Amino acid sequence: HPSRRIRSILDGGASGWEIVYAARDLQAKGERVTMLTIGEHENPTPAPILDAMDASARAGRTGYSSVMGSLGLREAIAARASRRAGAPVAPDEVVVAAGGQAALFQALCAVIDPGDAVVAIDPLYTTYPGTIRAAGGIPRIVPARAEDGFQPDLAALDIACAGARALLVNSPNNPTGAVYSAASIEGLAELARRHDLWLISDEVYDGMAWDQPHLSPRALPGMAERTVIIGSLSKSHAMTGSRIGWAAAPAEIAALIVDLALNANYGLPRFIQDAGEWALREGDAIEDDLRAAFRARRDLARAALSQRPGLRLSPPQGGMYVMPDIRATGLDARTFAERLLEEERIAVMPGESFGDAASGHVRIALTVTEPELADALDRLAGFADRLA
C-alpha cells in the first residue's frame, strides 16, 4: 500500500482553497475580482534581478551547483541573517533550499526522528501541520488568542512542550499580522532551553515589522546552538517563483540538511542562486520599495477596518496580511468569504484555513495597489457593517 506517512500529510487539514478556485473561475469568465487571497506580489520579479539571472545563465552557469548553495549566495545570506538576527551567522551555517518551505521541511527532517512531537502555534501558516507530518513528526498545535493580539500563550505552550522535540514559531506572523514582542520571544526561547527543544524560527517576513524591531530568538543567550532560522527571498524581493530560501542552523544541523538535499533535489539552479545573490548584495532599493508599499497598505487597512460595527481588527504589526474578526456579522468565515466573493467580487481567505484559533476571522492579503486595496476594503467593511 502507499505510504501511510505521506497519506497522513493532509490529515484533517482545512483547505479554504475553494475560494481561490471560485475566484479564478470568475476571472476566467472575464469578471473583475479583487484577489486578496494568496501571499504573492501583484508584480513579477523586478527587472534588475531578472537581468542578473539572464546574465548568469548566458554566461554558461547552467550546470549542477553546490548542493549547499553557492558560496557567494551563502555569504550574502549569512551577512543578511547576521544583520537581521543581531547575532553572527557564518556561511557554513547556511543551506540554500527551494524556498522557505523546502528549508522548513529539510530543517525539520534534520532535527526530529519519526514520531517526535513538534509544537506549533495556531493560527499558523497552512503548510505547517503537513510539513511536520511529512518530516515524520506529530504536530502539537497550541492556540493563541485574539484577545492577546495573537501573541503566543506561553503557559499553554509550556504544557505542550513537555516531551516534544521542536518548537516552530513564525514572527512576523502569517496569517495574523502579529509581530512577537521581546517578552514573547524571550519566553519562547526560555521554553526551548528548559524543555531542550530545537527552535525553528520562520522569519520569512523579517523585514516587515512595522511598529517594533523584528527580534530573532537566535540572538538570545544560549539560543544560537538550538535555533534554526528559516528565511526566503520570496516576499522580500518578489521572487516567489525563483524558490530561493534558506535555513541558518548550527553547522552540525546545516551539514545534515545538506545530506538530505544531496539525496533529494541536488541543489538549486546556479543562475537562480546568482540572481538571489545579486538581490541580496545590490537589491536593497527593491526591498525598500516593497517594504514601503506593504507598510502603507497596512496603514490603509488599519484605518479602513478599525471602528467598524461589523469588524474587529487586532493590531496588524507586520508581514503581508491583516486578519479581522468578522463574528459580529453573524456569519462563519467561510460563508462570509463566499458571500463577499459573490456580492462584492472580493476574494479573501476564511480564517479556519489557518487553524481553529483563526475561525471567525478572514485573512486579507495586502497584495494589490493602494487604490484597489482602498476600494476593496471600503466595500468589504461596508458589507460587514450591513450584516452586523
Interface residues with ligand PLP (CB under 6 A) are 39, 99-101, 125, 170, 174, 202, 204, 232, 234, 240, 245
- Listed residue (182, 218, 200) closest to 90, CA to CA: 218
CA torsion 321→39→15→379, rounded to 10°? 50
Give the ranges where 234-326 is alpha helix by DSSP (H): 251-262, 270-282, 284-305
When the beta carbons of 237 and 327 are compared against ligand PLP, the nearer one is: 237
First-last CA distance in the chain: 51
When the beta carbons of 173 and 329 are compared against ligand PLP, the nearer one is: 173
CB of 293 to ligand PLP, least distance (A): 17
Q: Which residue is nearest to ligand PLP (CB)?
A: 99
When the beta carbons of 39 and 91 are compared against ligand PLP, the nearer one is: 39
CB of 382 to ligand PLP, least distance (A): 29
When the beta carbons of 110 and 331 are compared against ligand PLP, the nearer one is: 110
3-state secondary structure of 85: helix
Q: What angle do CA 301, 306, 309 make, to 5 degrees?
A: 130
CB of 280 to ligand PLP, least distance (A): 14
The label of the residue with cell 557564518 reads 90
CB of 58 to ligand PLP, least distance (A): 26
CB of 276 to ligand PLP, least distance (A): 11
Sheet of 166-170: strand order equals: 94-97, 245-248, 227-232, 198-202, 166-170, 117-122, 138-143
When the beta carbons of 126 and 329 are compared against ligand PLP, the nearer one is: 126
When the beta carbons of 135 and 331 are compared against ligand PLP, the nearer one is: 135
The amino acid present at 90, given as its one-letter code, is: A
CB of 167 to ligand PLP, least distance (A): 15
The label of the residue with cell 495574523 reads 176
